[in-house]
């Protein structure tokens, strides 16, 4: 099933924002070593948007040509990986964690599985808890993070960062 609609997203600091209209096709996790390195993570979640309906709505990403075939777009200010792009293709891949609603697009397959970390399937079973659960120090730290949070909200903004009140 494919749904034509508008997707927005951007980097953590908000310097780079984008918008795609249509369908985010081929949602997948890429485990290849280049995606691991580019994500600083064990895999890169990607789906592609039609280039014709894709645009950068704020700022400009920086690009690293990880090969002659593809370049990777990221925010130079905060480092968020945003795009995997093969110039000339009629689509551009979006890093799905940068969507304003990351629950929106569900991966349907995996690629680069030769590099997949061998304990990948064990990850959901690791012991864990919610961010502010546990001890007092953790709860206080979490509150301090919330009160000084500089992460761009998950929607387009007129001005960012918000103007300081005087």
List of residues contacting Zn ion (CB under 5 A): 11, 13, 15, 30, 32, 35, 75, 77-78, 112
Shortest Cβ 45–Zn ion spacing (Å): 11
Dihedral pair phi/psi, residue 90, rounded to 5°: -90, 20
Shortest Cβ 151–Zn ion spacing (Å): 10
Radius of gyration in angstroms for the set of CA atoms belonging to the chain, rounded to a whole number: 17
Shortest Cβ 59–Zn ion spacing (Å): 8
Sequence-separated (6 or more) residues with CB below 8 Å from residue 81:
38, 39, 40, 44, 72, 73, 74, 95, 98
**156: Cα within 13 Å, side-chain hemisphere:** 12
Cβ proximity to Zn ion: between 20 and 82 the closer is 82
Shortest Cβ 101–Zn ion spacing (Å): 18
Cβ proximity to Zn ion: between 25 and 78 the closer is 78
Cβ proximity to Zn ion: between 52 and 89 the closer is 89
Q: Is 17 exposed, middle or buried (0-12, 13-18, 19+ CB in 10 A)?
A: buried
Cβ proximity to Zn ion: between 56 and 77 the closer is 77
Helix (H) and strand (E) counts in the chain: 2, 10
CA distance 122 to 163: 45
Cβ proximity to Zn ion: between 23 and 36 the closer is 36
Strand partners, 92: 49
Shortest Cβ 123–Zn ion spacing (Å): 18
């Amino acid at each position: 099933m494919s749904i034509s609609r508008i997707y927005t997203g951007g980097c953590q600091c908000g310097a780079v924002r984008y918008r795609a209209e249509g369908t985010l096709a081929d949602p997948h996790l890429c485990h290849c070593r280049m995606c691991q390195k580019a994500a600083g993570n064990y895999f890169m979640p990607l789906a592609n948007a039609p280039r014709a309906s894709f645009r950068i709505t704020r700022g400009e990403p920086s690009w690293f040509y990880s090969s002659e075939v593809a370049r990777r777009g990221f925010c130079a200010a905060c480092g968020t990986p945003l795009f995997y792009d093969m110039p000339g293709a009629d689509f551009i891949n979006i890093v799905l964690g940068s969507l304003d609603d990351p629950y929106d697009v569900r991966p349907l397959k995996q690629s680069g599985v030769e590099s997949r970390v061998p304990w990948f399937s064990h990850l959901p079973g690791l012991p864990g808890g919610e961010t502010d659960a546990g001890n007092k120090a953790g709860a206080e730290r979490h509150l301090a993070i919330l009160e000084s949070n500089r992460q761009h909200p998950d929607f387009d903004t007129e001005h960012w960062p918000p103007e300081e009140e005087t």
